[in-house]
Amino acid sequence: MVTVTPLEAELLELAGSVPDPELPVLTLRELGVLRAVRLRDAGTAEVELTPTYTGCPAVEAMALDIERVLHEHGIREVTVRTVLSPAWTTDDITEEGRRKLREFGIAPPRTRHEHGPVTVALGPTRTAVSGPDRTTGPSAPELEPVRCPHCGSADTELLSRFSSTACKALRRCLACREPFDHFKEL
Partner 1 sequence: MTTPDTTAPETTAPDMTTAPADTTTVPAAAALALGDDALVLSHRLGEWAGHAPVLEEEVALANIALDLLGQARVLLSMAGDEDDLAYLREERAFRNLQLVEQPNGDFAHTIARQLYFSTYQHLLYDRLAAGDGPFAGLAAKAVKEVAYHRDHAEQWTLRLGDGTEISRERMRRACEALWRFTGEMFQPVDGVDVDWAGMEAAWLESVGQVLRRVTLSVPEGPRTGAWSAGAGRQGLHTEPFGRMLAEMQHLHRSHPGASW
Please give the residue ranges that form the binding site for partner 1 (CB under 8 A): 51, 53-57, 84-89, 117-118, 120-125, 137-138, 159-166, 170, 184, 186
Closest approach of partner 1 to the CB of residue 101, in Å: 19
Judged by beta carbon, residue 88 or residue 183, the one nearer partner 1 is: 88
Closest approach of partner 1 to the CB of residue 42, in Å: 31
Judged by beta carbon, residue 38 or residue 112, the one nearer partner 1 is: 112
Judged by beta carbon, residue 134 or residue 147, the one nearer partner 1 is: 134
Closest approach of partner 1 to the CB of residue 65, in Å: 18
Judged by beta carbon, residue 39 or residue 159, the one nearer partner 1 is: 159
Closest approach of partner 1 to the CB of residue 55, in Å: 2
Closest approach of partner 1 to the CB of residue 12, in Å: 22
Grouping H, G, I as helix, E, B as strand and the rest as coil, residue 90 is helix
Q: What are the Cα distances from residue 151, in Å, to 15, 67, 127, 130?
A: 34, 39, 20, 18
Within 19-94, residue ranges assigned H as helices are: 28-31, 58-72
Judged by beta carbon, residue 3 or residue 125, the one nearer partner 1 is: 125
34-41 and 179-183 strand pairing: unpaired
Grouping H, G, I as helix, E, B as strand and the rest as coil, residue 100 is helix
In which order are the strands placed within the sheet that holds 44-49?
Answer: 34-41, 44-49, 77-82
- Classify each residue of 136-160 as buried b or exposed e, where b means 16 or more C-beta atoms within 10 Å of its C-beta: beebbeeeebbbbbbeeeeebebbe
